[in-house]
Amino acid sequence: MQAALLNFTQLPSENKVLILGDMLELGASSEKEHSEIIQSIDQKKFRYIIFVGKEFGKAMNGSIPTALHFENVMKLRNWFEEQHFSDHYFLLKGSRLIGLEKLVATQ
């Protein structure tokens, strides 16, 4: 995830939306790894920072006051559908079990 974050921050755009879902395969190191990801985020580089899932919810601890948190993808999707994004770049990254692909409408 760190490599994806680094590459995404280097895009020359101010309209970047970071959406990170829980990393569910980490076992005992889950809390530590989620906290390290949050600490590594430079909030000035993103228009929105969004976390999805219980693990990120526990790890946030107010460390990024402007970040949004959703318990699950369906709650995020409700918020997402009310937004009017234009000319934005998105990074969606998380465990497959979180299901971030549900944000994208399929036809």
User: 51-79: per-residue pLDDT in tens?
Assistant: 999 999 999 988 898 999 999 999 999 99
The residues, any chain, with a CB within 8 Å of residue 60's CB and separated by 6 or more, are 38, 51, 67, 69
Instruction: Report pLDDT digits (tens) over 6-37.
Output: 999 999 998 999 999 999 888 888 888 899 99
**Can you give the C-alpha Rg of the chain in angstroms?**
13
Euclidean distance between CA atoms 85 and 26, whole angstroms: 32
Euclidean distance between CA atoms 37 and 21, whole angstroms: 11
Q: What is the pTM of this model?
A: 0.91
Euclidean distance between CA atoms 18 and 48, whole angstroms: 6
Q: Could you tell me which of 49, 53, 48 has the C-alpha nearest to residue 84?
A: 48
What is the maximum span of the chain, computed from C-alpha positions, in angstroms? 40
Identity of the amino acid at 8: F
- Burial (0-12, 13-18, 19+ Cβ within 10 Å), 10: exposed
Euclidean distance between CA atoms 58 and 96, whole angstroms: 19
**Per-residue model confidence (pLDDT) at position 107:** 41
